Chains A and B, each alone.
Chain A
Amino acid sequence: MNTHLPVATTSAAIEVTDMTVAYGDKPVLWDVDLETPPGVLMAVVGPNGAGKTTLIKAILGLVPAAAGQVLIHGKPYHAQRQRVGYVPQRGSVDWDFPTSVLDVVMMGRYGRLGWFRRPGKAERDLAMQALEQVGMAEYAQRQISQLSGGQQQRVFLARALVQDADVYFMDEPFQGVDAMTERAIVDLLKGLRSAGKTVVVVHHDLQTVSEYFDWVTLLNVRCVASGPVSQVFTDENLRKTYGGRIAFVGRANNAEPTPGRISTPAPAIGV
């Protein structure tokens, strides 16, 4: 056992200690420590290649970690599978797979069912409820290849809802969705937070971080900062995370973003 593990932290929803992931000898995550309290809506932001997706995958044991430990509500992930929900990137699956919307949502129950047990009426009912929650009930029997990007994302969210988890990890749920769907997803995430769930979201749009989230982790191979948005989403931390590229990721509305200026409505910016 690691002797320098923080001790009285069992109240954290997610606790990552010394997480290092490398592909070959190239580190993708370098000694990441993270402690997320329960009931927060946390954005994980950072430039491309910062290891955001890898962080989630390593927490869920989907990629092997060279070092580090993960606790979900005080216990290792494999003991807490039932309490963790996962929404992979929309593009990671084949949407031409021969199956229906309802069927995909029911897959969210497979974890609870475990090996061999078949989904039945109870799973179907839960899936229908979740589809209603994301406004996709009328698409239940649709073949999944007929969905638009936003609809695909809603289906994935419905699938996460039926997992009925305490901690959710979502990989870019806003990627390629229209403004209306983005709004709907945000409402849904806030609903989850009100229900006491912890939600971790890989996010790209710095402008909406303070509006959507109350917790943020700034990641660039190392964990630059993690904490309440009002405290850690600062100009300085962003510059540390994005380096010189900040002006471009800030996605300013004006055609020529001023270098060094951060065009996010982040509080506590003192430029």
Chain B
Amino acid sequence: MSASLEIQLIAVTAATGCALVGVFLVLRSMAMMADAISHTVLLGIVLIFFIVQDLQSPWLLIGAAAMGLLTVSLVEALNRTKLVKQDAAIGLVFPALFSLAVILISRYARGVHLDVDMVIMGELALAPFDRVTIFGLDLPHALATLSAILLINIVFILVFYKELKLSTFDPALAAAFGFSPALLHYGLMALVSVTAVGAFDAVGAILVVALIVTPAASAYLLTDDLRKMLLLSVAIGAGSALAGYWLARLLDANIAGSMATMTGVVFLIVFVLAPQRGVLTQLRRQALQRWRFAQTMLIIHLLHHEGAPDAAVECRAEHLQAHLRWQPDFAAQVIRDAERSGAVHQERGLLRLTDHGRRLAEAAMVR
């Protein structure tokens, strides 16, 4: 395998794992917890590293998972005191643990492979140099780790799909059924921690959150089905990873930054163009509603004054501007459309409802 292909594989594997857990974090409104965890796991890694003195050890993942759970517990404990709100609690816990990790690395682990820049920024370009042989295959170490993590993520979500769905949507019912939402919650948080550690290799601690939150948030805007949301999130995550890699090559820039940027670009496109929930669709829908409402207002106004003594005044096109407070251009357009749809016809400036228009107006009044 060429180094280029290996790097892309690593990027895609990391992004896929993140995109999967991201869906449940976004649905549980816990995106910022992902940010916190992706930083504090560093402390877990550093502490375990001091004990085992080996950066390849699987114990590092265990330490990271434990630190992730500690983070969540501390945030929840702070929150429970009611002295600190959830977002502030996250803002207190995560810098504390993260800064401790940074101090420990810079003071005691300098010169080792573990260096601050690498952990914070990630250095995907160097990943192929660190190799390991598994089942006779000579692989980059990061790829092996990330594949294992991805596998754990997939198995966890497949096995607990039903339980995760219920406890995310309706935790009270899940608890009443005896499914222990707390257990699932901490299981998921452990998974996020491990996934974040894996993704360090690809994008570093700061940008992990982009891989976790952005693809899921984009997928959320595109579908109404949890399964599809998971698949779309993965597709968007993997696609952004690849696009980011090539962007980095094109610009000769940092790969992690480019990948995170691409997730943002995809989100922006989805945010504007999503078929149901995109900004553009919503604006168009609002405009259409305003237009339809104006049509209805016009025919109801005409129905009210039909045959009344003041009809000659009220039903004149010019009068609408004053009475309904419409701009002249707008009023003219509404009248033109109403004429075209056959609801209204105009005779010497006087507007009359057609039979069709009268039925429409009466139906609108009933509703």
Contacts and interface: CB of A to CB of B under 8 A. Distances in A.
A110 B229 CA distance: 21
Contacts of B228: 98
A97 B166 contact: no
Given A98-B220, A110-B162, A81 B176 contact: yes
**A interface, how many residues as a size bin?**
20 to 34
A104 B224 CA distance: 13
Nearest to A57: B172
A88 B170 CA distance: 9
B178 A111 contact: yes
Looking at chain B, what size class is its interface with the partner chain? 20 to 34
Interface string A138-155: 000001010000000000
Nearest to B168: A97
A100 B159 CA distance: 21
A107 interface: yes
A92 interface: yes
B172 A86 contact: yes
Nearest to A60: B176
Contacts of B165: 99, 107
A62 B224 CA distance: 29
B173 interface: yes
Contacts of A111: 176-178
A94 interface: yes
Contacts of A93: 169-170
Contacts of B179: 110, 115
Given A62-B175, A98-B223, A110-B177, A116 B170 contact: no
A62 B176 contact: yes
A81 B360 CA distance: 54
Interface in B154-196: 159, 161-163, 165-166, 168-170, 172-179
Interface string A105-118: 00100110101111
B216 to A, nearest CB: 11
B27 interface: yes
Contact of A107 (B166, B178, B224): B166
B225 interface: yes
Contacts of A97: 27, 168-169, 226
A221 to B, nearest CB: 21
Contacts of B166: 107, 110
B160 to A, nearest CB: 8
Given A97-B27, A100-B225, A115 B170 contact: no
Nearest to B223: A98
B172 A81 contact: no
Contacts of B169: 93-94, 97, 99, 104, 107
Nearest to B172: A88
A29 B186 CA distance: 30
Nearest to A113: B162
A81 B166 CA distance: 16
A132 to B, nearest CB: 22
A245 interface: no
A107 B170 contact: yes
A119 interface: yes
A219 B165 CA distance: 35
Residue of A57, A84, A97, A143 contacting most chain B CB atoms (<10 Å): A97
Interface in B225-246: 225-226, 228-229
A61 B223 CA distance: 35
Given A97-B168, A115-B163, A107 B225 contact: no
A161 to B, nearest CB: 14
Contacts of A84: 176
A271 B229 CA distance: 61
Contact of A116 (B27, B159, B178): B159
Given A111-B178, A118-B162, A119-B162, A99 B225 contact: yes
A88 B226 CA distance: 22
A99 B163 CA distance: 14
A75 interface: no
Given A81-B178, A99-B225, A62 B172 contact: yes
A60 B173 CA distance: 10
A78 interface: yes
B224 A92 contact: no
Interface centre among A62, A78, A113, A118 (most CB of B within 10 A): A62
A227 to B, nearest CB: 27
B239 to A, nearest CB: 20
Q: Which 10 pairs show the lowest CB-CB distances between chains A and B?
A: A111-B177, A143-B224, A86-B176, A88-B172, A97-B169, A93-B170, A60-B176, A98-B224, A98-B226, A98-B229
20 contacts: A60-B176, A62-B172, A81-B178, A84-B176, A86-B173, A92-B172, A93-B170, A97-B27, A98-B224, A98-B229, A107-B165, A107-B170, A110-B166, A110-B174, A115-B163, A116-B159, A118-B161, A118-B162, A119-B162, A143-B224
Interface of A: 57, 60-62, 78, 81, 84, 86, 88, 92-94, 97-100, 104, 107, 110-111, 113, 115-119, 143, 145
Given A97-B169, A107-B165, A107-B166, 14 more contacts: A61-B176, A62-B176, A81-B176, A81-B178, A88-B173, A92-B170, A93-B169, A98-B220, A98-B226, A99-B225, A107-B173, A110-B163, A111-B178, A115-B179
Interface of B: 27, 159, 161-163, 165-166, 168-170, 172-179, 220, 223-226, 228-229
